[in-house]
Structure 1
């Protein structure tokens, strides 16, 4: 935490600035100092990646005026005020204005470190949440998360762009772990409602009474979702679990909106639900209102070499996260990944990639053993193959993965990839063209 967060120290007394900076630097923080509030404001704005420690009494702009300026720019920025003995009432006023906390001189350095660490943790959480909200409202970012070049994924991305603009109710179904909620976010982000409210609730996670209150009110905290999402998108996960009484209320809500709908409903159904299909679980009139447009997400086993692309992507991501070298697939492991049944789909593959990276860091085990363990846990026959595919498909998928991985490692350096794979330039160019790989994507 400490190494990820900056601390801006603002005090007109040089000795005080330096002593606080040195102490916090020893505690692992990255510090920067400013002799005046005016200097600090030139560097500190909204989304400042850290916290602020400021004296109250300073010439020019004092700490109180400085705090007000910071709060007007970013009300979630943690600001710790340093006060003299006579400034305690002023410090209390600063807390009312939004300061994170205050310390009275002379202060205990250990307490300052603890306070700074807690403030930094709060700041990181705030910035992470903001980044997530931005990501979930950025259609370009979300579409890039739909990884894969298989025909099924190409069609899915085209359908999302089309249905996003159509702005009608949508039913998304597919097996567990195929990314249905991500697709719902993408539909919202690429359409005319982008930037407006996106509300989501699981119909299976709440009891009927609680779900009724959450959807239609009365709510103890905030607005019911049908009001909260007005003008935006309301996503209903596990729609097949919606009780009959609430199905009637939802149908009334949809009918009362007219055309075009003020609130867009995106219903998500679990196609692998053992209780039956979504169409069997819902009233016929509600089903056809929700399924005005329909998206069926492909299972991972139907996406061909996307399996290898996804595994490589997530293995590299977890490798960065854990400071470990991601495992390099052998031909046998690649074939096993391509043949695995993947009942948990992309979610299962992500978990496998993370375990493979941790296993690689310890220097034990194999991807084959992880796949076998997954199969046994699911109560299936301990094998990782489903229906056979032509050998040519496995060879081409493995070849594409090797070239793709080498291009990633060498950041698009053709000469380095030629040397690693022992390929002449013309052969490498032909194979890249055949597999749809472009050097520009790796630079």
Structure 2
């Protein structure tokens, strides 16, 4: 269950404030009250996680002035105004200024709840989109999303930091579900073009004529063609293998006209090609060599060892928080099954299984093994994964167990020692062995 959003209630009449607060609290909202607009402005900011309910007629700063100040602070903040009968024309004007809606006294409390629910849904969407935009422009945040301590992931992060600083075009290849789009955003966000446009389009999502219009113009809606919109920044072409030969030729012309260093960087993502072919066979050779001067190939999940357990733990914890329940505890047998699974859908498949495992755990039924079996049967013939020595499975499970326990106890060494029945020296040695630091959990 999603966390309750806040409602800030602003009214100079104490009885009205408390009445609205009690009613909305009973409806599941987290309320806070203010006796004046001036006080409310001290407690609100541009990322206030909720909505505002305010009277229009108040001493000092009135509701209309308050609304204008809120809109200048955050135009995406929903504000519900409460009006007297004679204030309706003013409330209509407030809607033009940016108010979400208004209620005329005396109002039906159920109508208040309905409006608050609609407003909070809008606010949650606004904040989620805002957070996503920040993440996609913040190289540090994006790099943290590339979870894993396996050698292939360490090397991937190093490659992103190195290639991100370069100007050359980049080709990203790898199996479906490995996170290629995330890597493309990270390449842009850690480089010199971070503050400029990042424009993306899927070459597989449009017909040849539509794609030609969108990429090179003239666009049907009169907008700039994407090669112009991305000028000075990055143009990300997903499903580059779907680009027809005539459009490959036009793209090559655009690249050749840019000179060195290129004004617009192109990041091309290949999402699927036949197992017995390479991108060099799919693309024109001259285009391939222009785009593939720098190449990143993402590792499949099955090659990433104990990263699988780390990812599963992080994802199941996130879903457990979202659904308001406990994350499933992974047994030694389930840990081995997760490590041995072929993961044809890679990280995307793991995220789906983690969510379903949390939902199963909430119902008190099912197992991770059954989810893996059903998923792999639905995926068709499974890829094979090499067996590992027993020692590797034991160490991966041990690391996951200590990591999970440290997270649950927020870095309390004493609590972890007691739960795992380990002396302090042994726990310290194992944490050092697995690269775990108490500071990461406090």
Same fold per superposition (TM over 0.5): yes
Say if 1:400 and 1:435, in contact at 8 Å, map to a contact too.
yes
Match of 1:309 in 2: 310
Say if 1:336 and 1:385, in contact at 8 Å, map to a contact too.
no
What's the CA shift for 1:3? 6.2
Say if 1:198 and 1:233, in contact at 8 Å, map to a contact too.
yes
What's the CA shift for 1:195? 2.9
What's the CA shift for 1:353? 1.6
After the TM superposition, which residues 42-53 of structure 1 pair with which residues of structure 2 at under 5 Å, given as runs?
Answer: 42-53=42-53
* CA–CA distance in structure 1, aligned partners of residues 239 and 82 of structure 2: 51
Compared with structure 1, are the counterparts of its residues 365 and 23 closer, same or farther at alpha carbon in structure 2 (3 Å cutoff)? closer
Compared with structure 1, are the counterparts of its residues 323 and 85 closer, same or farther at alpha carbon in structure 2 (3 Å cutoff)? closer
* Alignment: residue pair count: 441
What's the CA shift for 1:56? 2.5
* CA–CA distance in structure 1, aligned partners of residues 395 and 24 of structure 2: 55
Say if 1:339 and 1:385, in contact at 8 Å, map to a contact too.
no
* CA–CA distance in structure 2, aligned partners of residues 418 and 18 of structure 1: 48
What's the CA shift for 1:139? 1.2
What's the CA shift for 1:296? 0.5
Q: Which runs of 5+ in 2 are unaligned?
A: none
**Which digits, 9 at most, give the CA deviation of each residue in 1:245-264, with x for residues without a partner?**
22122222222222222222
Establish whether residue 31 from structure 1 lines up as the match of residue 41 from structure 2: no
**Which digits, 9 at most, give the CA deviation of each residue in 1:5-60, with x for residues without a partner?**
22222233334333333332332222223332222222223122221222333332
Establish whether residue 367 from structure 1 lines up as the match of residue 355 from structure 2: no
Match of 2:388 in 1: 389
Compared with structure 1, are the counterparts of its residues 360 and 80 closer, same or farther at alpha carbon in structure 2 (3 Å cutoff)? closer
What's the CA shift for 1:323? 2.8
Establish whether residue 161 from structure 1 lines up as the match of residue 153 from structure 2: no
Say if 2:241 and 2:272, in contact at 8 Å, map to a contact too.
no
* CA–CA distance in structure 2, aligned partners of residues 279 and 2 of structure 1: 47
Match of 1:185 in 2: 185
* CA–CA distance in structure 1, aligned partners of residues 120 and 389 of structure 2: 55
* CA–CA distance in structure 1, aligned partners of residues 433 and 273 of structure 2: 36
Match of 2:141 in 1: 141
**Which digits, 9 at most, give the CA deviation of each residue in 1:130-171, with x for residues without a partner?**
111111111111111111111100000000011111132111
* CA–CA distance in structure 2, aligned partners of residues 16 and 424 of structure 1: 59
After the TM superposition, which residues 238-387 of structure 1 pair with which residues of structure 2 at under 5 Å, given as runs?
Answer: 238-271=239-272, 273=274, 276-380=277-381, 386-387=385-386
Compared with structure 1, are the counterparts of its residues 54 and 315 closer, same or farther at alpha carbon in structure 2 (3 Å cutoff)? closer
What's the CA shift for 1:421? 2.9
Say if 1:239 and 1:278, in contact at 8 Å, map to a contact too.
no
What's the CA shift for 1:85? 2.5
Say if 1:199 and 1:234, in contact at 8 Å, map to a contact too.
yes
Match of 1:194, SS state, is: coil
Q: Which runs of 5+ in 1 are unaligned?
A: none
Establish whether residue 207 from structure 1 lines up as the match of residue 203 from structure 2: no
Say if 1:233 and 1:266, in contact at 8 Å, map to a contact too.
yes
Aligned-pair Cα RMSD in Å: 2.2
Match of 1:18 in 2: 18
* CA–CA distance in structure 2, aligned partners of residues 42 and 91 of structure 1: 24
Say if 1:2 and 1:120, in contact at 8 Å, map to a contact too.
no
Match of 2:171 in 1: 171
Compared with structure 1, are the counterparts of its residues 389 and 267 closer, same or farther at alpha carbon in structure 2 (3 Å cutoff)? same
